Amino acid sequence: MELELVVDRIEGDWAVLLIQPEENLSLDWPLAYLPPEVREGDLLSVNITKDELARKKREERVGDLIDRLTEDD
């Protein structure tokens, strides 16, 4: 899924992004995670993908932690 966002304004260390095309939803995003040259009015593209492998690894890690916390000594 690809989203297009417009930089509506910059407030301190945050950018207020409007989700295209409706522009009725906004998203506050840290400037530190945007290109340094970003300005109000810029159009940004964001690609969102589901990472199934990372999810499975996280589940395994959490399961291992739970096992260690609940094991009898």
Q: Is the pLDDT of residue 3 over 80?
A: yes
CATH number of this structure's domain 2-70, picked from the four choices 3.40.50, 2.30.30, 2.40.50, 2.60.40: 2.40.50
CB-CB contact of 52 with 60 (8 Å): no
Spans of all domains in the chain:
2-70
Residue-averaged pLDDT of the chain: 93
pLDDT band at residue 19 using 50, 70 and 90 as cut-offs = very high
Q: Are 40 and 10 in contact (CB under 8 A)?
A: yes
Q: Is the peptide bond before 21 cis (omega within 30 degrees of 0)?
A: yes
In this predicted model, what pLDDT tens digit does every residue of 30-40 receive, in sequence order?
999 999 999 99
Confidence (pTM): 0.72
